[in-house]
Structure 1
Amino acid sequence: MMEMPVELMDRRLAEISQHVEAVIAAIPRLPQEGTRAEGLIERDFGGYSVPQAILFFALFIMVGIAAEWLYRSAMWRPKLWLATFPIQRIADRLIGILATFGYGFGAWIAFLVGSHAVFLALPLPPLMRQFLLGYLIVASCVRGAMILLDCLLVPSGDETPLAKFRVTPISPEAARFWRNRLALAVGWFLFGWVTVHLLALLEFSLDARRAIAYALGLGLLAIAIEVIWKRPKPAAGSASSRRIRPRALQWLWTFYAVVLWGLWIAGMMPLLWFLLVATILPMAISISRRATAHVMRPPESSPVETSSFSVATACAERSIQAGLILSAILIIAWAWDVDLIAMTSGETMTMRLIRGALNAVLVLLAADFLWHIVGTVIDVKLDENKPPPHASDEEIGRSARLRTLLPILRNILLVTFIIVAVLMALSALGLEIGPLIAGAGVLGVAVGFGAQTVVKDIISGMFYLFDDAFRVGDYIQSGSHKGTVESFSLRSVRLRHQRGPIYTVPFGELGAVENMSRDWVIDKSVINVTYDTDLEQVRKIIKDIGRQLKENPEFAPKIIDTLKMQGVQEFGDYAIQIRMKLTTKPGEQFVIRRRAFAMIKMAFEEKGIRFATPTVQVAEGKHSVAAAAQQSLSIERAAADPA
């Protein structure tokens, strides 16, 4: 019969209470068990005392350190090569980092060989041998952790030659802090773990060993609290340095560390490991991303890198992230006593759910990996297809077309990846996606009828893009909407008007599109001159101005066919209308036309040519004019007389 939640919780609390009481009851028995352990040591250490065992251990460590020193002395040439190795490419930095890790690994192997060789050479009693081997393994792991942290963090400072191979982007002070604290935490944890297991050889009871383990756990708690309160601040000016870290947050982390220690004492190991993984995993992912970006950054001597390294950066970042997530899953499975191998053949409901959840996680990780690779390739193509400053019209057009189509392709691929990943994840969970797909098809038809306008917009946009009707950067006009194309979505286009406003126009409402940014523009204008003007002289002046514009280095690249006079447009009521024509690149006609008008005015003034303006002439008899003048004088006199 299945237990009710209240009954399950009550039973679990009773188990925790019983566990804690057993540990507390074992504390008074520790002196008695310690006395019994001393007797076992005197009997089974073969006449050796504990201080002598400590001297043997110190001898092993000293020999290991001496062997490591000899290795480093003999390998001075590779170290000098690393110090002088130039970084001209990203590949050079990767080679240097791998060589640094190889050099450190060799030093660790030298320490292992030196320390363990002496241990194996000495004839020691079995019990003493087990104790010394356990603590020697602890020392070897701590030394390996220190060497690994030295390779990752390079805590010796930025002035050292190997600082250029630092993997994590932190300051030397922060590197020294984290190197010391992490090595101390690893050493203390391994020391406590080995000590508790070796105490079983001295016939300590399980509860007594747990009490000693919890007491040693206070050391880990102290290290964690010291890190929380004394961790170095980020470098000034960095993004993380601008984050607010109030004291309340430090107290919150301290309380969290105490809660984890309390869960350990209570024996709630599954919850403890789950909280640890949930805390450490986001930090590890964030650190791995920053480290990957730091390692894969372009060298100063070679700022231009091929796109393959951008794709390689995305591959490395997502591979590390996937590895961290899978490692977290394995740790949680181990903490919860989940047999992943047996789960593959288990047919119970729980096993099927867990197996489906793991398969779904793998599918989502694979989809995330593929999407970031594809997205990175598209982003690299967008960056590579920016036209150079003096690009030809064909290059500019090709670049604009790619900058128009690639973002839309990226959005379509994103939606496709999401739909396929969700369907595959649901299938991995054991759900039948066939009816779901069929239902989605029916729902799609219903939505299509209800959202015909949206469907019309999307399909119209596809045809506009296939026809290459406009691109990003083109100036277009459609009905009452006009402006420069800034961006697209699946159903609309954003137009920036020359005065600043933005129009978001659905593709279905565009209709006929007038593109004013393709190939060339013919600008026609008309000027009015008086009837007594020498038209041949005007033609020569305009021709000369066209020649000057063509020779101007500012306007020459923008002019396709320079300014010309086309002849007399018509004879007006008060002027002769002369028509001119200018062919330029799209959008450049306005500036050139303004300069041409200014030059024409100056040239006409020098030659005495007058622009025609409308005038009104009044012609009447002499008596009428005299009467009007007399009437005007009378009005002025009346206004001047104050009476």
Structure 2
Amino acid sequence: MSWIMARVFLAAGIQTEATAGPGQQRKIDEFVKLLEDPDIRTWLTARSQAAGAPTAPAGLASGGLANWEATTRAHIHEIVSAIPSIPSELLSASLRVRQDAISHGFAPVFLIFAGLVALGLAAEWIYRRIRSSTGSLMAQLAPICVFALGIAVVFFAVEWPPLARIVLLAYLAGFIVFRAGSVLVGFAVSHRSLRLRCRILLAVVIIAIASAALAQPLELPSAVADAIAVGFSIVILALAIEAIWSSSPQRTKNSKAALTLLLVIVWCFWAFGLKSLFWLGLYAVGLPGLLSGIGRAAERFAGNDTSGIRRVLVVRGARAIVIAAAAGWLAIVWRLNPEGLGHSNPVVTAIFYGLLKSVVILLLADLAWQLARNWIDRTLAASLDTSSLPPADAARQARFRTLLPILRNALAVIVAVMAGLIVLSEFGVQIGPLIAGAGIFGVALGFGSQTLVKDIISGVFYMFDDAFRVGEYIQAKNYKGTVEGFSLRSVRLRHHRGPVFTVPFGELGAVQNMSRDWVIDKFRITVGFDTDVEKARKLTKQIGAELTQDPELGPLFLQPLKLKGVEEFGDYGIVLSFGMMTVPGMQTYIRRKAYLKIREAFKANGIDFAQPTVNVGGDEKASGAAPASALVRRNKLAASTEAASDGG
């Protein structure tokens, strides 16, 4: 008993006997354990102050730094003093358990433990004989569940002695947890050496937890139990440090040294009773690796479902459960440790609980967003292939490709804003005035950025009118191109020559959609004046039939190629008009094929295409041309005669 508690007992007027007989030792131990309860200590402190006991200065008040330092020092002294008595206390406890089992007609506890384990292994062997296991996580956990069920049936069917029952329950539960944890470690850790070290560390942790849970039922003194816990913690710390330096070849020496120092600091937090800081530090060290391992195990459990909702629920859900459990455990530790340094400050307490609640809120928001985004991405991926769909279904898929990206962006903003507001409210911020202020700011922003508001509203109405969709070719004012995507205020157009236009919705105006439903393509060809038009019509009809029967071009036609008739008389021949109805976007490709077939058919059947010609004729023109030709000949003759004389 520390000197601080002795002062409290004296101030409260509590009398204790100087000596106690052997029969009273157990009652004294129970009384000492009762005095360690935080509520009892608080009540005794209040009684001491009411009785006029001397109090510490304000800076050293109960719950302050000086009180914590004195309590910690006394606690360490008790642990050090209890170390020599650990073997005798453990021997006494084991003898009590053995005597309790033998006095009720049972074998020693370790034999009962071995028998129950053997029974569970037999049930597991029968299950494996009946049903062969595969490499999945559930297939490896199922035999362990059968093992646990076989043990549980026998354990709860037999009325065991009191002490033996508690000991068996603790270590059997620990053994089952170790086996299940070993399977999870095998799924989460791929490195063989690190996997072995993780399993050894898990075994030591489970034994330590089971032993700590048995300290009170076995009537071990609190100082001895604390000393045993410190011993286990040192072993666990040594194993963790050894794993860091032996099984992490990808880490540098500096990172290993920093991680080792962090582990030592976390252990000091636990040893000095700073439970909240201990768990925070432990999570900072182990939670990233734990989440990574849980994620890998969850991905293997999800199997080949690479883009489904099941994968999101399993992977993200498993990580969210781990983080939420960590936050919940921190809340429990904080609540059960009222003497912590931060409990005296209500602001620190409010911030602590606000952080824990915010973690849960952000996890739920992230899970909801991931589910929604996964559904949108899968729908977008499924809407890309529309070649085998009817026109109505293809149009609906195109509308999905248009609206879903905008919905995804809007949903991300909504989830982020709502999660942020809820987090602020958990920290005690009044979000009502904040929302009202945001509304006023939004109005002011609307007046100050009318162009932006105009673009956004115009985009909304374009979407409502279904004016264009992703993948369609449109023309608006001087902009033309294929719609590639949207934002809240603009559309992205890819010109057929390559440039990309980012056009605000407010600048589009009237939109010509050249890819909706169907298109009628018309073109003209000029032939000679002596062409047989009826013959050309029959040839065109034959060409149209050939094109519609073509396996590649036929599905692209809605109406075959036809000769509409004589459009006009040109300067060099007759202008014939042709027309056809095709699916949108393929008219240019089909027209090129039609040009080639028309040329070949017309050429083979004596139909000439019109060409520019110049006809020179008439008597007056001929009479004027003859003297000119004679003059040219005379000039050439004179030039040649002069050249000959010069040469002679």
Length-normalised TM-score, structure 1:
0.74
CA shift, 1:38, in A, is: 3.8
Aligned with residue 176 of structure 2, among 103, 127, 144: 144
Question: Contact (CA 8 Å) 1:495, 1:504: kept in 2 or not?
Answer: yes
Q: Confirm or deny that 1:185 pairs with 2:185.
A: no
Q: Confirm or deny that 1:260 pairs with 2:266.
A: yes
Q: Confirm or deny that 1:66 pairs with 2:118.
A: yes
Q: Indicate the residue corresponding to 1:529 in structure 2.
A: 527
CA shift, 1:107, in A, is: 0.9
Distance 2:641 2:492 in 1: 68
Pairing 1:307-318 to 2, within 5 Å after superposition: 310-318=308-316
In structure 2, the CA distance between the partners of 1:188 and 1:608, relative to structure 1 (3 Å rule), is: same
Q: AA paired with 2:543? A: I
- Secondary structure of the residue aligned to 2:397 is helix
1:284-341 residue CA offsets vs partner (Å, 9 max, x unmatched): 4444444444333457xxx9xxxxx93444445554444323321222223334689x
Q: AA paired with 2:172? A: S
Distance 1:589 1:613 in 2: 27
Q: AA paired with 1:624? A: A
Question: Contact (CA 8 Å) 1:550, 1:559: kept in 2 or not?
Answer: yes
Question: Contact (CA 8 Å) 1:473, 1:484: kept in 2 or not?
Answer: yes
Distance 1:389 1:476 in 2: 21
Question: Contact (CA 8 Å) 1:177, 1:232: kept in 2 or not?
Answer: no
Question: Contact (CA 8 Å) 1:24, 1:211: kept in 2 or not?
Answer: no
Q: Indicate the residue corresponding to 2:626 in structure 1.
A: 622
Question: Contact (CA 8 Å) 2:540, 2:562: kept in 1 or not?
Answer: yes
In structure 2, the CA distance between the partners of 1:247 and 1:638, relative to structure 1 (3 Å rule), is: farther
Aligned with residue 555 of structure 2, among 545, 551, 557: 557
1:470-510 residue CA offsets vs partner (Å, 9 max, x unmatched): 01110001112111111111111111112222211110011
CA shift, 1:266, in A, is: 4.7
Question: Contact (CA 8 Å) 1:138, 1:191: kept in 2 or not?
Answer: no
In structure 2, the CA distance between the partners of 1:332 and 1:400, relative to structure 1 (3 Å rule), is: same
Question: Contact (CA 8 Å) 2:133, 2:140: kept in 1 or not?
Answer: no
Distance 1:254 1:637 in 2: 116
Q: Indicate the residue corresponding to 1:81 in structure 2.
A: 131
Q: AA paired with 1:489? A: S
In structure 2, the CA distance between the partners of 1:19 and 1:543, relative to structure 1 (3 Å rule), is: same
In structure 2, the CA distance between the partners of 1:626 and 1:449, relative to structure 1 (3 Å rule), is: farther
Distance 2:281 2:97 in 1: 47
CA shift, 1:404, in A, is: 1.2
Q: AA paired with 1:80? A: I
CA shift, 1:359, in A, is: 4.9
Question: Contact (CA 8 Å) 1:82, 1:100: kept in 2 or not?
Answer: no
Moved over 6 A (4+): 1-4, 13-18, 46-49, 112-119, 196-205, 629-639
* Identical pairs, percent: 35
CA shift, 1:428, in A, is: 3.7
Q: AA paired with 1:218? A: I
Question: Contact (CA 8 Å) 2:120, 2:150: kept in 1 or not?
Answer: yes
Q: AA paired with 2:203? A: G
Aligned with residue 401 of structure 2, among 395, 400, 403: 403
Distance 1:470 1:554 in 2: 27
- Secondary structure of the residue aligned to 2:585 is coil
Aligned with residue 278 of structure 2, among 272, 275, 279: 272
Distance 1:316 1:38 in 2: 49
Q: Indicate the residue corresponding to 2:390 in structure 1.
A: 392
- Secondary structure of the residue aligned to 1:336 is helix
Distance 2:353 2:238 in 1: 39
Aligned with residue 607 of structure 1, among 602, 605, 608: 605
Pairing 1:151-170 to 2, within 5 Å after superposition: 151-152=183-184, 168=187
1:74-96 residue CA offsets vs partner (Å, 9 max, x unmatched): 445xx533548xx9xxxxx8xx9
Question: Contact (CA 8 Å) 1:112, 1:140: kept in 2 or not?
Answer: no
CA shift, 1:400, in A, is: 0.5
CA shift, 1:454, in A, is: 0.8
Aligned with residue 439 of structure 1, among 434, 437, 440: 437
Distance 2:574 2:355 in 1: 86
Q: Confirm or deny that 1:426 pairs with 2:424.
A: yes
CA shift, 1:451, in A, is: 1.0
Mean CA deviation greater in 507-516 or 600-609: 600-609
Greater relative contact order: 1 or 2 (C-alpha under 8 angstroms, separation 6 or more)? 1
Mean CA deviation greater in 558-567 or 383-392: 383-392
Q: Indicate the residue corresponding to 1:306 in structure 2.
A: none
Distance 1:429 1:482 in 2: 51
Question: Contact (CA 8 Å) 2:188, 2:293: kept in 1 or not?
Answer: no
Distance 2:510 2:594 in 1: 33
Question: Contact (CA 8 Å) 2:166, 2:214: kept in 1 or not?
Answer: no
Aligned with residue 146 of structure 2, among 76, 86, 106: 106
Q: How many residue pairs are counted as aligned between the two chains?
A: 572
Question: Contact (CA 8 Å) 1:138, 1:190: kept in 2 or not?
Answer: no
1:332-354 residue CA offsets vs partner (Å, 9 max, x unmatched): 223334689xxxxx996666555
Pairing 1:275-424 to 2, within 5 Å after superposition: 275-298=281-304, 310-337=308-335, 358-424=356-422
- Secondary structure of the residue aligned to 2:542 is helix
Length-normalised TM-score, structure 2:
0.74
1:214-267 residue CA offsets vs partner (Å, 9 max, x unmatched): 44433212322343345489xxxxxxxxxx755554444334333333444454
Question: Contact (CA 8 Å) 1:23, 1:210: kept in 2 or not?
Answer: no
Question: Contact (CA 8 Å) 1:457, 1:508: kept in 2 or not?
Answer: yes
Q: AA paired with 1:256? A: L
Distance 1:358 1:26 in 2: 33
Q: AA paired with 1:280? A: G
Q: AA paired with 2:130? A: L
In structure 2, the CA distance between the partners of 1:140 and 1:567, relative to structure 1 (3 Å rule), is: same
Pairing 1:183-222 to 2, within 5 Å after superposition: 183-192=199-208, 206=223, 213-222=229-238
Question: Contact (CA 8 Å) 2:178, 2:203: kept in 1 or not?
Answer: no
In structure 2, the CA distance between the partners of 1:170 and 1:555, relative to structure 1 (3 Å rule), is: farther
- Secondary structure of the residue aligned to 1:330 is helix
Distance 1:636 1:189 in 2: 123
Distance 1:179 1:562 in 2: 71
Q: AA paired with 2:259? A: W
In structure 2, the CA distance between the partners of 1:280 and 1:169, relative to structure 1 (3 Å rule), is: closer
In structure 2, the CA distance between the partners of 1:232 and 1:203, relative to structure 1 (3 Å rule), is: closer
CA shift, 1:465, in A, is: 0.9
Question: Contact (CA 8 Å) 1:518, 1:586: kept in 2 or not?
Answer: yes
In structure 2, the CA distance between the partners of 1:118 and 1:56, relative to structure 1 (3 Å rule), is: farther
Aligned with residue 587 of structure 1, among 585, 588, 597: 585
CA shift, 1:387, in A, is: 4.5
CA shift, 1:582, in A, is: 2.1
Q: AA paired with 1:105? A: C
Question: Contact (CA 8 Å) 1:528, 1:611: kept in 2 or not?
Answer: yes
CA shift, 1:109, in A, is: 4.4
In structure 2, the CA distance between the partners of 1:247 and 1:430, relative to structure 1 (3 Å rule), is: closer
Question: Contact (CA 8 Å) 1:604, 1:610: kept in 2 or not?
Answer: yes
Larger radius of gyration: 2
Distance 1:44 1:289 in 2: 42
- Secondary structure of the residue aligned to 2:308 is helix
Mean CA deviation greater in 376-385 or 595-604: 376-385
Distance 2:636 2:445 in 1: 82
Question: Contact (CA 8 Å) 1:64, 1:112: kept in 2 or not?
Answer: no
1:373-392 residue CA offsets vs partner (Å, 9 max, x unmatched): 43344344434545543222
Q: Indicate the residue corresponding to 2:568 in structure 1.
A: 570
Distance 2:639 2:488 in 1: 76
Aligned with residue 547 of structure 1, among 545, 548, 551: 545
